[in-house]
Structure 1
Amino acid sequence: MIVAKADLFIIPVQTKAERAAFVDLAYRLNAGDPAWVAPLRMEALELVTPGKNPFFDHADVQLFLAKRGEAIVGRISAHIDRLALAQPAAQGMGPGTGNWGLLEAEDEAAAQALIARAEDWLRDKGMTRVLAPLSMSIWEEPGQLTKGFDHSPTVMMGHQPERYQHYIEALAYTPAKVLKTYELDITQTFPPLIQRIVQSGEKNAKIRIRNVDKSRFDEEAALILSILNDAWSDNWGFVPFTDREIAYAGKKFKPIVREDLIMVAEYEGEPVAFMMTLPDLNEVVKPMHGKLFPFGWIKLLAWLRAPRVRTMRVPLMGVVRKYQSSRLASQLAFMMIEFIRRNALANYGATRGEIGWILDDNQGMNAIAEAIDSNVNKEYTIYEKAL
């Protein structure tokens, strides 16, 4: 169905060419933003292609384009994640909740028409509430940037123009959650109290903090994801990973995984926590403007062999539920952060860390971030609206 508003048309993406145009639009509209990091085009296309992205295995997705005449002036995705529908409503997702994301628009009229079309699609599918933007799952690039527009995002984080925030809020969307990222100077040692906590843990024979073993990559990835699914299962917005998604994520991130930047914490021989840190791939990708050819791939391969970066990002960490809210949980977190800080500084020349995203009401993680003298540098807002 084609929806028209004056000279503005909203069409569903149906062809390979339209899907390519959907991807290409982001590069044109964001070309003038010095903080935007263009994703590698093949990865951006893979994200929205059934059969490539395993999100499509458990989600219904429809992409839309906005056109004025023959010119494409906007895009949006609408999606219903069946795994999210099965989660308890008290945790943010749940029955009747659909999503939209990947919004790009030349102007407010195009944005409003696209959001209205996504809402209609969700409503027609029986949804009664929308949670957005999610691009496309909660594990990819959730939320609209609402603080920190002046500097580039780190790997796996999004960046949207400030005007989109105003477009969304003008349509009666209200904040459901705010996701925070924290930055810190990793050249500085942590406060004395944190140092004492780490030193106490190092003397405790029951605690072992180890690097991951990349030679057992699949096994280690499965272990980390099992801890994650247990640790995050009660969190707002949680949707479990499928086996296909675990394999997909492992293949995607294997080239930038470094053994000394991902830690597993064991207590009395049992793996109970992990912390994943990634060198900021965006620092090398940004100058490529989304293109590996003709010379970008050479630079990328050279960097992957011996990455040197300014920033390290901690995208994921977790402690199994039975130890959450305990002193042990915070001690393990501080120990892993400190061990990774030392390695990042010594082995990769990093000077800056970024932790997150962290839910604004996750008191434990926010307290840990503040205890190591980090500061909020970006905020992303996920909005909700009744349909």
Structure 2
Amino acid sequence: MVSNDTNCEIVIEPVDGKKGRARFVDCGRAFAARLEHAVPQLRSEQLEMVDPAKNPFFGHARAQLFIARRGEEAVGRISAHIDELALEMPAEQGFGPGTGMFGYFDAEDEAVAHALLDAAESWLRGEGMTRVLGPISMSVWEEPGLLVKGQDHAPVIMMGHHPAHYAGWIEAAGYERAKTLYTYDLDVRGEFPPLVQRIEKSGQRSGRITVRQVRKKDWDAEAAIILDILNDAWSDNWGFVPLTKQEVAYTGVKLKPIIHEELNMIAEIDGRPVAFMLTFPDVNHVLARTGGKLLPFGWFHLLRWLRNPTGSDMRVPLMGVLKEYQNSRVASQLAFMMISQIRRNAAAAYGSKRGEIGWILEDNQGMVAIADAINARINREYAIYRKPLS
């Protein structure tokens, strides 16, 4: 994939169109193939994420993809992109006016890294941006952040995986850390501590709280409920950008095959939905075995796993409680009731041994406290960097 001749001139090539996007994706796949513990993803899904005709993110965003070459060899890639909805957010929440992003960052060496970052920054300046955040690939709801700790084990579903030296290259290019994101590892086989059990039981005794499984036969309606709670619950969080109806519909279709009712909960107070928790079995378990390929027999293994992901690890990517209940005892009751029920179901139905919660913002005190209370431990750390474009 790469040239050993570091004396060759580095050429940064803007790419677009079907062939350009394919080259961009294949460059990233080649880098991932060299990285220990990386899990090959489905190429068709990766192509779709950067296709403006298929990914509804581009309904409110624009992007430029770049590939770095030495001679004929691809030695890196990067995206520069602007989310119009992010520009409308308050600056104190991370984005705001003048904020562009870079993502899909891979580089053979530091010289290539700096050339790619320069190209992304120049494009963003040309589009009127005054600061840059990254890596965010490509929506903040997809793969935000650079993995800076946790390279010693494989990523779970929808989590980025990057070599540790990328951080030094980005920092040497004038970037500083804007925010740290954590993921937490949890053993799902044992009981939770007594305090958590008491809070859970107090919620069960209230008579007002009901925790129910999502109804897959009504998935479109359930996804709409989750969207409404999510956009309210996360609206004050750093990095929040509202999901559009189109994005929710698109994501709902993508996620439906991995939705198992007993692993996904909606909590109601007096019959009104006020909180949710989503849990996905780790499809990376299968993709690692099939090499990320559906042919010739990968599709068989994937379909069989989708029906019954026995032995899979689990990931909780999203949960939310309406703002009116946050920072209250009720919020703790809702969270622990959902977590406890999902934990028991994952262990009983699928023989799961561990789960991963995240990502969680370093300063999200409520979620950090919940993770600490259930004896979860930080197992990965992601960094989002910022730089003025002066």
Structure 1 residue 361 and structure 2 residue 363: aligned? yes
What SS does the corresponding residue of 1:354 show, helix, strand or coil? strand
State the distance in 1 between where 2:205 and 2:332 align.
Answer: 16
Q: Deviations over 1:315-348 (max 9, x none)?
A: 0000001111111001110110000000000001
State the distance in 2 between where 1:15 and 1:273 align.
Answer: 41
- 1:44 is matched with 46
Structure 1 residue 128 and structure 2 residue 113: aligned? no
Q: TM-score, normalised by structure 1?
A: 0.97
CA contact (8 A) 1:210 1:263 kept: yes
State the distance in 1 between where 2:34 and 2:68 align.
Answer: 21
State the distance in 2 between where 1:314 and 1:234 align.
Answer: 20
- 1:159 is matched with 161
Within the candidate set 29, 32, 36, 1:30 is matched to 32
- 2:312 is matched with 310
Q: Deviations over 1:258-278 (max 9, x none)?
A: 111110111122111000111
- 1:246 is matched with 248
State the distance in 2 between where 1:90 and 1:234 align.
Answer: 10
- 1:294 is matched with 296
Q: Deviations over 1:174-222 (max 9, x none)?
A: 1110000000111110001111111121122111000011111100000
Shift of 1:32: 2.6
Shift of 1:279: 0.6
Shift of 1:105: 1.3
- 2:388 is matched with 386
Structure 1 residue 191 and structure 2 residue 193: aligned? yes
What SS does the corresponding residue of 2:82 show, helix, strand or coil? strand
- 1:256 is matched with 258
CA contact (8 A) 2:56 2:250 kept: yes
Residue identity over aligned pairs, in percent, reads 60
Q: Which runs of 5+ in 2 are unaligned?
A: 1-6
State the distance in 2 between where 1:309 and 1:139 align.
Answer: 27
State the distance in 1 between where 2:206 and 2:287 align.
Answer: 42
CA contact (8 A) 2:188 2:353 kept: yes
- 2:226 is matched with 224
Tell me which stretches of 4 or more aligned residues in structure 1 moved more than 6 Å.
none
Shift of 1:310: 3.4
State the distance in 1 between where 2:8 and 2:97 align.
Answer: 35
- 1:107 is matched with 109
Shift of 1:45: 0.6
State the distance in 2 between where 1:229 and 1:24 align.
Answer: 34
Q: Deviations over 1:264-319 (max 9, x none)?
A: 11112211100011111111112222211111001001111111133111000000
Q: Deviations over 1:77-101 (max 9, x none)?
A: 0000000000111110100000000
What SS does the corresponding residue of 2:235 show, helix, strand or coil? coil
CA contact (8 A) 2:8 2:71 kept: no
- 2:344 is matched with 342
State the distance in 2 between where 1:39 and 1:321 align.
Answer: 35
State the distance in 2 between where 1:284 and 1:90 align.
Answer: 40
State the distance in 2 between where 1:320 and 1:252 align.
Answer: 25
Paired AA for residue 131 in structure 1: L
What SS does the corresponding residue of 1:252 show, helix, strand or coil? helix
Shift of 1:6: 6.4
- 1:9 is matched with 11
State the distance in 1 between where 2:382 and 2:42 align.
Answer: 22
Paired AA for residue 62 in structure 1: Q
- 1:207 is matched with 209
CA contact (8 A) 1:283 1:309 kept: no
CA contact (8 A) 1:80 1:97 kept: yes
State the distance in 1 between where 2:323 and 2:56 align.
Answer: 27
CA contact (8 A) 1:311 1:353 kept: yes
Within the candidate set 80, 83, 90, 1:81 is matched to 83
What SS does the corresponding residue of 2:319 show, helix, strand or coil? strand
- 1:322 is matched with 324
Superposed CA RMSD in Å reads: 1.1
What SS does the corresponding residue of 2:151 show, helix, strand or coil? coil
CA contact (8 A) 1:179 1:357 kept: yes
Shift of 1:33: 2.1
Q: Which moved more, 1:123-132 or 1:196-205?
A: 196-205
Q: How many residues align?
A: 383
Shift of 1:34: 2.7
Structure 1 residue 352 and structure 2 residue 315: aligned? no
What SS does the corresponding residue of 1:239 show, helix, strand or coil? coil
CA contact (8 A) 2:199 2:332 kept: no
- 2:70 is matched with 68
Paired AA for residue 340 in structure 1: I
Q: Deviations over 1:24-45 (max 9, x none)?
A: 1122222232311111000011
State the distance in 1 between where 2:128 and 2:178 align.
Answer: 21
